[in-house]
Structure 1
Amino acid sequence: MSDKSDTQSSSTNIRSIGQTFRLTGWISFWTQLVLGVVAGGILLFAIFSQRTGGRNSNPGTGFGIFLAVSGLIALIGGIVVAFRYTRIGRDLLSPNPVNRPRKAETVQVLRLGMIVHFVGMLLTLFGAQAIVGTLLTKSLTSQQIGTGIIAQADPSRFIQPLDIFVVQANTNTVTAHFAGLVASVWLLNRITR
């Protein structure tokens, strides 16, 4: 009798974990996807605007955008991992025990998700530092220009609205990585209880 109740308890626990994986995976997937698409659209707009606008771009901004795009590429990996969480949840809900992934495999996928998001967040934060440093330099140098010289000044020396969009794109990417990291840590905590 005891074995039957242990089996039912284990089955109920696996079912609960499976539902948690599916729900958390879908929430993480859509959060990252929406934030990533918005950030990617802004960065593409910024990149093409700089190229077609003909203005000189600052080296810090160029390197910052490179790192921001690298963070977005890492976010694509995070989105794939979040989708994998939904598949793990589906497999855990399978009535056939053979289809269920082993705990070690599941923990491995969760660790991969955490690594992807840590690396992506690091790249994006370095990109944000480069971009904000460039904006700080622009703001400090624009204050030194006299009002009579403004008409003759190079417009690339002033903070443009496009510069703020790039900061917004970086913020969206960091938020997406943070959401994926929270999902991975929470699922790892749930599975190792």
Structure 2
Amino acid sequence: MHAVLDLLLRPFSSVSALIGAGGWVLPWIFATALIMWTLIAERWWYFHRIFPAQRAALHAQWRARDDHRSWSARQIRAMLVSQVRVAMDAPLPLLRVTVPIAPLLGLLGTVTGMLEVFDGMMISGSADARTMAYGVSHAMIATLSGLVVSVSGMFFLSRFQARVERETESFGDLLEF
């Protein structure tokens, strides 16, 4: 039973060890990753579950109109297309902010890790390899973590932006005059 519990807790102890090795900046990078991945999951859910029904309802609303050619009908059509675009694009600005924040936090971890190296060298009065390795490892773990979070988010952000453009054009074409 104790072995099973250790096996289940191993990922948590690994993350705890990584945070300890990466310095105080790593919890902030993980918080940024949590926010970013929550937004990614929400957009995925929206595009696969909510958007098809929303698009069908707005298309039915347009088809129910008798007038498709007047100036007011064109304005209503533009409003429907805009409404779809705003709904698809709503959380993407926050996702656009979280993606570049992660490497900047990693850079902050790099700077603080290098400051630890310099402090250790100043205290010992020499370039002790052990002291330098500790600070450099803090710096590299923070940098790597920030880059991993950012690169994984960039992929999904570009996919969502392309989908917003594609679906906006497709919905505009669906609402014929």
Fold shared per TM-score above 0.5? yes
SS at match of 1:158: helix
Identify the residue that residue 95 of structure 2 maps to in structure 1: 117
Residue 68 of structure 1: which of 29, 38, 59 is its match?
29
Residue 45 of structure 1: which of 4, 11, 14 is its match?
14
Q: CA RMSD in A?
A: 4.2
Do the aligned residues in 1 keep the contact of 2:106 with 2:145 (CA within 8 Å)? no
Residue 131 of structure 1: which of 109, 130, 136 is its match?
109
Residue 170 of structure 1: which of 130, 133, 146 is its match?
146
SS at match of 2:90: helix
Q: Equivalences for 1:1-193 in 2 at 5 Å? A: 45-46=14-15, 48-49=16-17, 61-62=23-24, 64-75=25-36, 76-88=38-50, 90-91=52-53, 98=60, 103-140=81-118, 146=126, 157-160=134-137, 163-193=139-169
For 1:79 and 1:189, the matched residues in 2 are separated by 19
5+ residue gaps, structure 1? 1-40
Distance apart, 1:42 and its partner CA: 8.9
5+ residue gaps, structure 2? 1-9, 62-79, 170-177
Letter matched to residue 135 of structure 1? G
Letter matched to residue 179 of structure 1? F
Identify the residue that residue 172 of structure 2 maps to in structure 1: none
For 2:12 and 2:152, the matched residues in 1 are separated by 15
Which runs of 4 or more aligned residues in structure 1 lie more than 6 Å from their structure 2 counterparts after TM superposition? 41-44
Residue 130 and residue 73 in structure 1: after superposition, are their counterparts in 2 closer, same or farther (change >3 A)? same
For 1:129 and 1:42, the matched residues in 2 are separated by 25
Letter matched to residue 87 of structure 2? V
State the percentage of identical aligned residues. 6
TM-score, with length taken from structure 2: 0.56
Aligned residue pairs total 140
For 2:142 and 2:53, the matched residues in 1 are separated by 40
